[in-house]
């Protein structure tokens, strides 16, 4: 855990908060009540992240209209962005997973990694206050704005333009499932090209899942 604290640039006074943030529900369930999952921390972390990012954008971009602020915030806090943060931190190797989730590749599962980032941010907030959480968000998330990574990734438009190079091509997005409580829904979408599956994606909204499905489809077409 010390190596993770060094990456975060923050040392916990209560190490139990960090342990909790890294405990997936599969591990908590197997402990038969001895451990608490990181779901509550993830709920709190989602709000903290959204507030800090919104506050930053509002203060630093007085010229941007509400729509642009919303799209920029969404690009910074989406699952794909949080997974990139998790990978920078090497968060997967620190996760506490149940045996089934471990054998099923849970350490690399995007939704688990993204949730863990939010849970860690909440743990830092509870342990050291909003200033400490803000520093980490600035370092790992808001820095992407400076790098020009806040522009919404419109993979659906890119896919449409790609397939329209040939006439008669028909794209269709299908919601194939959803899971999780209301405050933490996961949507699963598949995109078909002329009736054949081309890509699948997940997201915290149907729109985000469609974007991820389009991204997967673009990658598939590039390999052909």
Q: Is residue 145 a known part of a binding site?
A: no
Q: Is residue 161 a known part of a binding site?
A: no
Residue from 86, 116, 89 nearest 26 by CA:
116
CA atoms of 143 and 84, how far apart (whole Å): 13
Which residue is catalytic, options 46, 79, 145, 210?
A: 46
Q: Is residue 182 a known part of a binding site?
A: no
* E strands, the chain, in order: 171-179, 186-193, 196-203
State the virtual CA torsion across 194, 179, 184, 206 in degrees, nearest 10: 20
SS3 state at 172: strand
Does the annotation mark 39 as catalytic?
A: no
CA atoms of 138 and 120, how far apart (whole Å): 14
Place of tokens 């197997």: 30
Does the annotation mark 184 as catalytic?
A: no
Q: Burial level of 139, CB count in 10 A (0-12/13-18/19+)?
A: middle
Which residue is catalytic, options 6, 14, 63, 118?
A: 118
Q: What is Dmax (Cα atoms) for the chain? A: 62
CA atoms of 189 and 212, how far apart (whole Å): 8
Which sequence positions are flagged as catalytic? 46, 118
Q: From the annotation, which residues make up the binding site for Mg(2+)?
A: 42, 115, 118
């Amino acid at each position: 855990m010390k190596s993770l604290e060094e990456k975060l640039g923050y040392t916990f006074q209560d190490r139990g908060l960090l342990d909790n943030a890294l405990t997936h529900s599969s591990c908590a369930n197997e402990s038969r009540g001895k451990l608490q999952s990181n779901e509550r921390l993830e709920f709190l972390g989602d709000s903290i992240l959204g507030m800090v990012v919104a506050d930053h954008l509002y203060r630093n971009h007085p010229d941007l209209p509400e729509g642009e602020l919303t799209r920029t915030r969404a690009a910074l806090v989406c699952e794909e962005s949080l997974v990139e943060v998790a990978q920078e931190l090497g968060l997967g190797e620190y996760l506490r997973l149940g045996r089934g989730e471990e054998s099923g590749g849970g350490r690399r599962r995007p939704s688990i990694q993204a949730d863990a980032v939010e849970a860690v941010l909440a743990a830092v907030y509870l342990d050291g206050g909003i200033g400490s959480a803000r520093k980490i968000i600035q370092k790992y998330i808001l820095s992407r704005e400076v790098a020009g990574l806040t522009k919404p990734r419109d993979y659906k438009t890119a896919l449409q333009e790609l397939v329209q190079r040939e006439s008669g091509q028909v794209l269709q997005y299908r919601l194939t499932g959803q899971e999780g409580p209301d405050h933490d829904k996961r949507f699963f979408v598949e995109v078909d090209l002329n009736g054949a599956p081309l890509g699948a994606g997940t997201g915290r909204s149907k729109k985000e899942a469609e974007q991820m499905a389009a991204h997967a489809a673009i990658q598939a077409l590039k390999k052909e």
